[in-house]
Amino acid sequence: MDRLDASTKLMIVSDLDLTMVDHDDNHNTSLLKFNALWEAYYRRDSLLVFSTGRSPTSYRKLREERPLLTPDITVMSVGTEIAYGESMVPDEEWERFLNRNWNRDLVMEETLKFPELKPQSEAEQRPHKVSFFVEKNKAPQVVNAVSERLEKRGLDVKVLYSSGIALDVLPKRAGKGEALAYLLKKFESDRKAPTNVLVCGDSGNDTDLFSVPNVYGVMVSNAQEELLQWYVDNAKDNPKVIHASERCAGGIIEAIGSFQLGPNLSPRDIIDSKGCCKVETIDPCFEVVKFYVLYERWRRGEVEKSELYLEYLKSIFPAGGIAVDANGKERSREELIDGMRGLYGDMKATPFRTWLDGLSSAQVGSNSWLLRFNKWESSSSSSRSSSSWLSGNQFLGCFTTVLMSSQSKVSEGGLMWMHVQHTWLDGSPSEPQHNTCFI
């Protein structure tokens, strides 16, 4: 399929609150669609960057509440902190760079003189970010006055106003856009510049992202007034920036389509009520993502209960294959299929969801692939509708490896799952979980 062209190299740089994450949708519908799209088609050769105003602490909290993927790079505290990989290795060079002509104490001293500025919590105050709340009607005048005052004291600062409430003071060299420009420059010097960059945002601290030269940009449909106004004043003739008609992650997917940056049909949108997939391809990454979407729908009772699904399982698990669940129990193909038959609809009317993260695939033979990924399931025990999404970490995860093999005769199509092995992430769960990471 041409959509699977391995040369697709996209770098998505997205804000989180009300861009990647829709706080008005406790079901995380569009976020989960994005996740499936990313893992199926982009994870292998593209870069995911989250660029948030949140401090490391509140970013971690959001990760516990919402099904966010692990980004390749995390830019936090409004472009003042950059961290790489899953283990979040900080970019100390960037922090040193921001020190020039920055004096936090002086910023504190001067901002104290503005009674309109209400300090944000201690956790949001960072080495290169001083943050306040200020009422919307006072904001334009306060932004100007604070900038002027700090300039007079000889500081190069940037004052940003976001979401009609938050005011941040940063070094002028900081910000989401500057952090992105710094990353792009780094990639260029390593000859690893991405083919396309798409920036995504909804509020004032995202304006910087849209100022980076040559990037595509999407302001999600629910973008804040201050960003839309900035666009009208500064970028409305830029054909590379759109105001999406979809909210949040739905707007990001829409932009991928409208700028033709690669596949834009999420595996979550191609399965019909019978559990049939409207797109057929023999791509291992796509296959595994589709498999777990179908598994979720089966357990939620959202596809018809028909033998078709069990036939599908039979067709992909060979009789001699091996499946080891996260408790170390090996199951035969019959046990797997009987087990799945019994799980139909067991998660009906619950917030149960499954998603994959960090999927990688390596071809290990002429017709076999080894896939690795983290598989997450949201709380299975809860039937308290959407509230479980909001009360701390309800996710259980396992690290999974799958050895897949395509059948010798191409005409037979399909990929067989020869060996599946799950291992609990973060140690075993405190209570025995028989149905999580079972398949």
Binding site for ligand GLC (CB under 6 A): 53-54, 58, 78, 120, 124, 131, 162, 166, 168, 205
State in angstroms the smallest separation of the CB of 115 from ligand GLC. Answer: 19
State in angstroms the smallest separation of the CB of 120 from ligand GLC. Answer: 5
69, 322 in Cβ contact below 8 A? no
Q: Is 22 in the site for Mg ion (CB under 5 A)?
A: no
142 makes contact, choosing from ligand GLC, Mg ion, none, with CB < 5 to 8 Å by partner type, with none
State in angstroms the smallest separation of the CB of 272 from ligand GLC. Answer: 40
Distance of CA 1 to the CA centre of its chain: 25
Closest CA to 417 of 435, 402, 431, 429: 402
For residue 192, give every residue at least 6 positions away whose Cβ sits within 8 Å of its Cβ, in sequence order, or none: none
State in angstroms the smallest separation of the CB of 139 from ligand GLC. Answer: 12
- Rounded to the nearest 5 degrees, what angle is found at the Cα of 345, between the Cα atoms of 64 and 349? 55
205 makes contact, choosing from ligand GLC, Mg ion, none, with CB < 5 to 8 Å by partner type, with ligand GLC
Q: Is 17 in the site for Mg ion (CB under 5 A)?
A: yes
Question: How far apart (Å, rounded) are the C-alpha atoms in residues 423 and 244?
Answer: 40
78 makes contact, choosing from Mg ion, ligand GLC, none, with CB < 5 to 8 Å by partner type, with ligand GLC
Selected binder of Mg ion within 15, 39, 91, 226 (CB under 5 A): 15
Q: Name the one residue in this structure whose structure tokens are 């999420």.
A: 266
366, 393 in Cβ contact below 8 A? no
User: 3-state class of 150 per DSSP?
Assistant: helix
Q: Which stretch binds Mg ion (CB under 5 A): 87-95, 117-125, 144-152, 201-209?
A: 201-209
Q: Which stretch binds Mg ion (CB under 5 A): 7-15, 178-186, 251-259, 280-288?
A: 7-15
Of residues 17 and 377, the one with the C-beta less far from Mg ion: 17
Of residues 14 and 46, the one with the C-beta less far from ligand GLC: 14
170 makes contact, choosing from Mg ion, ligand GLC, none, with CB < 5 to 8 Å by partner type, with none
Query: What residues from 202 to 221 belong to the interface with Mg ion (CB under 5 A)?
Result: 202-203
Of residues 163 and 327, the one with the C-beta less far from ligand GLC: 163
Tokens for 360, please give them: 């990688």
DSSP 336-399: HHHHHHHTTTTTTTS---EEEEEEEEEEEETTEEEEEEEEEEE-SS--SGGGGGGSS--EEEEE
For residue 254, give every residue at least 6 positions away whose Cβ sits within 8 Å of its Cβ, in sequence order, or none: 218, 244, 245, 246, 264
* Other Cβ atoms within 10 Å of 233 Cβ, number: 9
202 makes contact, choosing from ligand GLC, Mg ion, none, with CB < 5 to 8 Å by partner type, with Mg ion
58 makes contact, choosing from ligand GLC, Mg ion, none, with CB < 5 to 8 Å by partner type, with ligand GLC
Q: Is 226 in the site for Mg ion (CB under 5 A)?
A: no
For residue 87, give every residue at least 6 positions away whose Cβ sits within 8 Å of its Cβ, in sequence order, or none: none
Selected binder of Mg ion within 10, 11, 12, 18 (CB under 5 A): 18
State in angstroms the smallest separation of the CB of 14 from ligand GLC. Answer: 14
Question: How far apart (Å, rounded) are the C-alpha atoms in residues 149 and 239?
Answer: 37
* Other Cβ atoms within 10 Å of 87 Cβ, number: 6
Residues lying near Mg ion in the complex (CB under 5 A) are found at 15, 17-18, 202-203
